[in-house]
Amino acid sequence: MDDEENEDWRDEVPESERLGDSSRISDSHWEDLVNQIAEPSAMMGDMPVDEVRERLEEEGWEPGPAEPIGWRTASPTLMLSVIATFGAVLLLVLGAIFFRPLPGWFLLVGIAVGLGGAVGLFFHLPTNHSSDGGNGASV
């Protein structure tokens, strides 16, 4: 009974929407498409990765230790400037929420600390341009 019902709806599909064998692709063509997707699209080096690793091991190359990063290695004045800048913003927002009306001394202290932190951050900007010929997008 199910086969008869399935056949009935297939007869009602317009001819323009029917899929025939002409719309199917061959298995070899499908495998070619899948292989093209699996291949990397970027330019590869002249040597395979395994060969590069073997040559580096032969030469005895070892990567150097990575430099520590984070707030613990940053300059204390840089950290103080960051804390002052964001702390002043937080102080002013919390003051505006919890104190109505905002006391004048509170507002002045918040603005002074924020401006001091911003000036400190300004002086921590790099002062020289690297001469590696890059476009400045490196970190």
Is it the case that residue 65 has pLDDT exceeding 60? yes
Taking each helix axis as running N to C, give the angle between helix 104-123 and helix 76-98, from 0 to 180 degrees, rounded to the nearest 10: 150
Q: What is the DSSP string of 26-40?
A: PHHHHHHHHHHHHS-
Rounded to whole angstroms, the Cα distance separating 77 from 89 reads 18
Q: Are 79 and 53 in contact (CB under 8 A)?
A: no
Type of residue numbered 20: G
pTM of the prediction? 0.48
Give the C-alpha separation, 74 to 81, whole Å.
11
Structure-model confidence comparison of residues 70 and 132, the more confident one: 70
Per-residue pLDDT tens digits for 78-120: 999 999 999 999 999 999 999 888 889 999 999 999 999 999 9
